[in-house]
Amino acid sequence: MSSLTTVDLRRSYGLGALPLGLFLGTLCLAYWMARQIAVEQYRNVLVAAVLAQLIWVFLRWRWSVYGLVVYVVLEGFFVNYFSTVPELNLVKDALVIGLFASLAATLLSRGMQPIPSLPWMAPFLAFAVLYFAEIFNPNLPNIFVGLVGVRVTLLYFLVVPIAYWFFESKQRVLNFLLFFSLLSVPVSLFGLVQYWKGPEWIVSLSPGFGRAVYYASGINPSIESFYFRTFSTFVHTGGFAQHLFLVLLLSLPLWILPAFRRHRWWVGAAFVLHFVALLTTGGRSSFVMFIAAVAVLFFMLRGSAKIVPVMMVLPLVLWGSSLFVGPQFVERFESVLNLEYVSARNRPLMIGWLEGSMEAPWTGLGAGYATVASRHAGATALNGGVLENGLAKMRYEAGLPGLALYILFLLTVILDCLRAPFRIRDPELRWCVAACASFLTINLANVVLGPVFDASPNNIYLWFLLGLVARARHLETPPVAEQAASQQTV
């Protein structure tokens, strides 16, 4: 097993330490990029940055994984700020493909398979083959619509093996959680700055933010009830809310585990910061999903008493945060308790869309037919707006056989996630895996209210966490060390 956990691309490609050359090269690149920015040649800067990152993959591939995560968090800001450079939407794809290609080349050269064998792999591959064949569906206006659908639905699966081989030890898992929490602090702060300064301020930075502001503003008949839903560094407010949902969930192990005892003071402060930021997004779905995920986490940890104080403090944090965000957002979140309103809003999404999709041909209408991103390649009757039911979307695009395979894939993943924490004996690792698995379970169960793999940042987060959960069972500490660790954490 040790040979499976030491993937060093730099050593595999025979590259020695090049600190001086890298330093000088970085200085030259920075100088050139600064000159290009001064003359507003942003496309040249973009191409150079992507090429530099792809080269860096061969030198420090795990650092490049951290770079990918950072870019996913900042992608929305770049896309909105440089709205005249649509190529930014493909940067993430280039990074993912470059990382996987380098990783695969190294593993194959060692006689190892880059894609791990996972319990849900068979139904996913069966669905992937059928969905890929749908790019040739005659109902599509052109093949490019189908290719966009394949990109959105299947491409980011490559993040699973990237994450699987990225986590070579339990310490890497713990370090990543700490890194992700630290990265999220300035993101939440920027969201609060947006809330304080208002939509006019963010639009003043670049006209490209105008579209995001338009969809992030809610207006009722009374002018006093206007509210602005923050989106921070993400393309839209929903992406920011989902990011906060994940970081809040991952903050729980950081607060509870002894390994992070010295970080508790700022972890607790960051938790409150993220919670307030979540309320400013107006993300009712993400808020409810977080509460549900905490309940699932409680189940996965066999009713651990350590999580009870967090659950008891949560209402106090909610009350204190509500004083900050104002009455408009309080009224918005109070609607969650209005069961008639919730039923009237969600029933058409859960049942109406699915019933309508059953009228489509049993073979489907083709990959990308109901995918919003495909509208740039060709217009269809369903890609002009978001189809808010993931199952209905698959029924439209992949037909009845594709829908059946997709449901089987989701059920297999959910079952594997529910079982994952119970297979791990290391207490610290179990906490981390349970937090990730609960995020995955709640998101995948929410497929009836939206396509779960389509939008950023979930199109990276879900696949990345699937790789982490799959890898965790191979990162158990040796029996003697495990026993000592258990005694320290009790």
The 10s digit of each residue's pLDDT in 101-124 is: 889 988 898 888 999 989 999 999
Structure tokens that stand for 49 in this block: 């940055």
Domain boundary among 114, 146, 171: 114
Q: Give the pLDDT score at 407.
A: 96
Domain boundary among 71, 99, 114: 114
pLDDT at 363 over 90: yes
Domain that holds residue 423: 118-489
One domain, residues 336 and 221: yes
Q: Give the pLDDT score at 64.
A: 87
Q: CB atoms < 10 A from the CB of 38, how many?
A: 8
Domain boundary among 114, 133, 168: 114
One domain, residues 49 and 136: no
Q: Which residue has the higher pLDDT, 215 or 207?
A: 207
Q: Give the pLDDT score at 19.
A: 54
Q: Give the pLDDT score at 313.
A: 73
One domain, residues 285 and 229: yes
Q: Read off the pLDDT of each residue in 289-296 and give the average, rounded to a whole number.
A: 91
pLDDT at 222 over 50: no
Do 252 and 310 touch, CB atoms closer than 8 A? Answer: yes
Q: Residue 27: CB partners within 8 Å, gap ≥ 6?
A: none
Q: Give the pLDDT score at 332.
A: 72
Which amino acid is present at 134? E
Number of domains in the chain: 2
Q: Give the pLDDT score at 301.
A: 86
One domain, residues 256 and 341: yes
The SS3 assignment for 128 reads helix
One domain, residues 123 and 269: yes
pLDDT at 11 over 50: no
One domain, residues 261 and 317: yes
pLDDT at 352 over 50: yes
Q: Read off the pLDDT of each residue in 345-368 and give the average, rounded to a whole number.
A: 84
Q: Give the pLDDT score at 27.
A: 61
The 10s digit of each residue's pLDDT in 51-105 is: 776 677 776 788 889 989 999 999 999 889 888 877 778 888 888 998 998 899 8
One domain, residues 192 and 109: no
Q: Give the pLDDT score at 312.
A: 72
Q: Give the pLDDT score at 29.
A: 57
One domain, residues 218 and 106: no
Residue 24 binned pLDDT confidence (cut-offs 50, 70, 90): low
One domain, residues 101 and 242: no
One domain, residues 353 and 292: yes
Alpha-carbon dihedral angle through residues 349, 355, 356, 361, given to the nearest 10 degrees: 140
One domain, residues 440 and 293: yes
Q: Which residue has the higher pLDDT, 257 or 391?
A: 391
Q: CB atoms < 10 A from the CB of 289, how many?
A: 23
Q: Give the pLDDT score at 131.
A: 97
Q: Which residue has the tokens 């900050």?
A: 324
Do 386 and 372 touch, CB atoms closer than 8 A? Answer: yes
Residue 153 binned pLDDT confidence (cut-offs 50, 70, 90): very high
Q: Which residue has the higher pLDDT, 216 or 370?
A: 370
Q: Give the best-scoring range by mean pLDDT among 126-135, 290-299, 303-312.
A: 126-135
Q: Read off the pLDDT of each residue in 2-12 and give the average, rounded to a whole number.
A: 43
One domain, residues 154 and 202: yes
